[in-house]
Structure 1
Amino acid sequence: MTVRNVWSLGATLGEGPVWDARDGALWFVDIKQHRVHRFDPDGGETRSFQAPAQIGWVLPAEDGAFLAGLQTGLHRFDPDSGAFTLLTTVEPDRPGNRLNDATVAADGAVWFGSMDDGETAVTGQVHRFHAGTLTTSAIPPVVITNGPAVSPDGATLYHVDTLGRTIHAVPLDGAEAGVPRLFATIADADGYPDGVSVDAEGGVWVGLWGGWSARRYAPDSTLDRVVRFPVANITKVAFGGPDLRTGFATSAGKGLSEAERAAQPEAGSLFAFDVDVPGRVLPLAKVSA
């Protein structure tokens, strides 16, 4: 596949790409720069917004705005005004944690994870937010959660233990997450699994931190496709465009030495590539009852 650099924005920690079908644009964040970014592939128009804290993701919501996951909690983000309004705190007893990645299930429930910002403590949990109610899943805690992502039939939640180099498949029964089973393991030489997304056929895409690539696993966990990039840290893939056959990959310059940055001038860019299997538009997040 031919990879294209569509926005050389130099993100420190680009993350959370999501296609917003309402305005035909890709939205994503730079966690460490506290920024929200919008990219319109039809003409390449870009916009950026400042967030009040580290921000892991924004997701299109039913009320026309976005639900945003910040270190300070869940917020309503209004792109018309640029304002962030706190809806609820998350893990107030764990000030060293921040929110990291998220997805939306068919019922509008937002499944999201937290992580230790110092990347050492086993304090990362998976939570569910639906119609104003926040609950914590029974999925065992890890240092860095990534994903989650939900299968097309809604029966499986894919959850990443980044430092454990594993992707787990968790059975879903409505609001309840069952016992995780191992879906895939990433070898040490191939980097760390970062964000995951699921396409229309149930293929699981994962960005590889330090792996110079993104992978697609078939629903039976067979490695199906590898896309190579000119940068080491690929954080997540999302799909957009009018036919949802454009893959968009966020990347990061975080942690690179001066020599590595010189060798990777495109680190932190937004990349695009074409795929045969289209992605899926996430349902709108249900924020209120």
Structure 2
Amino acid sequence: MTDAAPVCIWLAGAELGEGPIWHARDQALYFVDIKGKAIHRCAADGTRRQSWETPHAPGFIVPGDDGGFVCGLQGGLYRFNPDSGDFSLIQPVEQHLPGNRLNDGFVDSRGRLWFGTMDNDERRPSGVLYRWERSLAPQAQDRGYVITNGPAMSPDGKTLYHTDTLQRTVYAFDVDAAGTLSRKRPFVHIEGSGYPDGMAVDAEGFLWVALFGGWRIERFSPAGELAGVIPFPCANVTKLVFGGNDLRTVHVTTAWKGLSPEERRRQPLAGGLFSFIADTPGLAQHHLSTEAKK
């Protein structure tokens, strides 16, 4: 775990900060503000800041192995060029469901993208978990979510974790080499305050879960046992990523969404980007394949 308290390295003011990724080539952290319709980038220490407006609400950003980026925006998957700030549609997603938007996303070791959709009003169970490979249409893997969150995978690539946020449950699935899911089962049910949001897996296979409204991150063993808690100075902790040269610098996004004016006054760091040093390193960021891998 860590003995160091999280430090705010960028008071970004994100209404709904999400989706941090560490890009080793750029030595930079990228993350999105879903409600603020923005992509942000900075160095590991929070300096060298840059931001771009997005045409639609961004759920995530992931790097491609061709040097570009793919963003999940409301209505589809888009190529993003940070040099020009341009977005171009690659693949429509659920354009027949205008009340849905894309939420969290993750690239596995085979270069496949896993992402979820959700009801933007957070009421209807219209959310779907998808798998996407560049030469195919997105393939639905699981359904019936109001808010999908936190796709993450074990170090051996054999277990996928996915969250039903409103049910406060993280599920585990078996994954075969083709990306087929089976044996869905509850991995952990969050007790106490907060709702499970974004997640990351460390090199030991422990799952770190950010808790929206919970003021903390919780770390669970591969057996689903609580192994540690990291308190935060703001309530809405949304997602984390391991970065830096040794993958021990943990970057964490937060949000002020849903806070009253008084709560925002008492939580001045809400919406900021935080970091701390972990005792255990994480896993390297995978890049989306330009072609499907067999």
Q: TM-score, normalised by structure 2?
A: 0.95
Matched residue, 1:176: 180
Q: 1:129 aligns with which of 128, 132, 139?
A: 132
Question: Does residue 36 of the first structure (1) align with residue 39 of the second (2)?
Answer: yes
2:209 & 2:162 partners in 1: Cα distance?
11
Matched residue type, 1:260: E
Please show how residues 48-197 of structure 1 align to structure 2 within 5 Å. 48-173=51-176, 174-187=178-191, 189-197=192-200
Matched residue type, 1:266: L
CA change 1:274–1:68 in 2 (3 A) is same
List runs of 5+ in structure 2 lacking aligned partners: none
Please show how residues 230-241 of structure 1 align to structure 2 within 5 Å. 230-241=233-244
Does the 8 Å CA contact 1:125/1:136 hold for their aligned counterparts? Answer: no
2:58 & 2:286 partners in 1: Cα distance?
21
Question: Does residue 221 of the first structure (1) align with residue 224 of the second (2)?
Answer: yes
Shift of 1:91: 1.2
Identity of aligned residues (%): 48
Does the 8 Å CA contact 1:147/1:159 hold for their aligned counterparts? Answer: yes
Matched residue, 1:22: 25
Matched residues, number: 288
Does the 8 Å CA contact 2:9/2:46 hold for their aligned counterparts? Answer: no
Q: TM-score, normalised by structure 1?
A: 0.97
Matched residue type, 2:155: P
List runs of 5+ in structure 1 lacking aligned partners: none
CA change 1:95–1:130 in 2 (3 A) is same
Shift of 1:12: 0.2
Q: 1:265 aligns with which of 268, 271, 280?
A: 268
**C-alpha offsets along residues 61-92 of structure 1, whole Å, 9 cap, x if unaligned?**
01101011000200011111111110010112
**C-alpha offsets along residues 126-154 of structure 1, whole Å, 9 cap, x if unaligned?**
11111231233332321000011111101
Does the 8 Å CA contact 2:9/2:45 hold for their aligned counterparts? Answer: no
Does the 8 Å CA contact 1:253/1:268 hold for their aligned counterparts? Answer: yes
Matched residue type, 2:185: R
Secondary structure in 2 aligned to 1:227? strand
Does the 8 Å CA contact 2:131/2:141 hold for their aligned counterparts? Answer: no
Secondary structure in 2 aligned to 1:106? coil
1:108 & 1:135 partners in 2: Cα distance?
14
Shift of 1:42: 4.9
**C-alpha offsets along residues 218-264 of structure 1, whole Å, 9 cap, x if unaligned?**
11111111111110000011111111101111000000001100100
Question: Does residue 255 of the first structure (1) align with residue 258 of the second (2)?
Answer: yes
